[in-house]
Amino acid sequence: MEQIKNKTVYFLIDCSGSMYGSRADAVNNAMAQVVSQVFDDIRGTKDATLNLSFVVLGFTDAHKDKVFEIVPKTALEDFKTWDPIDPEAFNGGTPTGAALKKVIDDLQGGAYHGDVDVNAVAPAIILISDGEPNGKDPTYEEMLECAEKGNPHEVTAFRKALRVALGISVNDAGRESLKKFGKVSARMERSGIAAYYDCSEQYASEFAEILKSVTINASMV
């Protein structure tokens, strides 16, 4: 009997104040399409030996813990609807480093597993943000350095993860910063999936199509 594999796909959504309005609307619209359209396709085509789960996290320094659950870890089969993020949730700064730390902590056996999942395959992390990270304790740069140069036994899963950043109406500095996050396999590059995408809330349908395509590829083994 073939061994069951467990995979988690993380969506990290920037909930800073600059996302308020049309950018937040674009994210809610795109996520609703992912859940209502893409998840049905994935259910019908995914490997039978793959258990697929999703986590949606928001991050803003206006929130007490900087990072908060929008959707806790939920199996694909149980993720049927998208409840829009409250527009008032979008305020404050951009503590992207705290969001990465939350994921890394989880991959080391944090809140969702209790201990390290021995049947886990490389996760996928999809980051959506409109600007340059500005949070501290930890900073974005500190977490990237930790992930790439730290103790390999502590951050192996993050290092192996598919990582895609979607920049939504970012400036040059924000774009260069977000590009540092992305990391995709040669196979995914050949299939047309990039590690970074430039998007705009003015083209919400295009943003949704990109997120849907990335989600499908992120859900594969």
- Count Cα neighbours of 109 within 13 Å in the Cβ-side half-sphere: 8
Given the structure tokens 């890394």, which residue do they identify? 104
What is the token pair recorded at 122? 């490389």
Instruction: Please give the Cα distance from 178 to 131 (Å, whole number).
Output: 8
Pick the CATH number of 5-218 from 1.10.10.60, 3.40.50.970, 3.10.450.50, 3.40.50.410: 3.40.50.410
**Of 216, 217, 179, residue with least CA distance to 198:** 179
What are 128-149's pLDDT values in tens digits? Answer: 999 889 988 899 999 998 877 7
What are 62-93's pLDDT values in tens digits? Answer: 988 999 999 999 999 999 999 999 999 999 99
- How many CB atoms sit inside 10 A of residue 43's CB? 13
Residue spans per domain, the chain: 5-218
What are 14-59's pLDDT values in tens digits? Answer: 999 999 999 999 999 999 999 999 999 999 898 889 999 999 999 9
Give the confidence band of 113 by pLDDT, cuts at 50, 70, 90. very low
What is the token pair recorded at 84? 């829009």
Beta strands in the chain (DSSP E): 5-14, 50-59, 67-75, 124-129, 162-168, 196-199
**Judging by beta carbons within 10 Å of its beta carbon (0-12, 13-18, 19+), is residue 32 exposed, middle or buried?**
middle
Query: Would you say 15 and 59 are in contact if contact means Cβ atoms under 8 Å apart?
Result: yes
Instruction: Please give the Cα distance from 143 to 96 (Å, whole number).
Output: 9
Taking CA 200 as the corner, what is the angle to CA 104 and CA 141, rounded to the nearest 5 degrees?
30
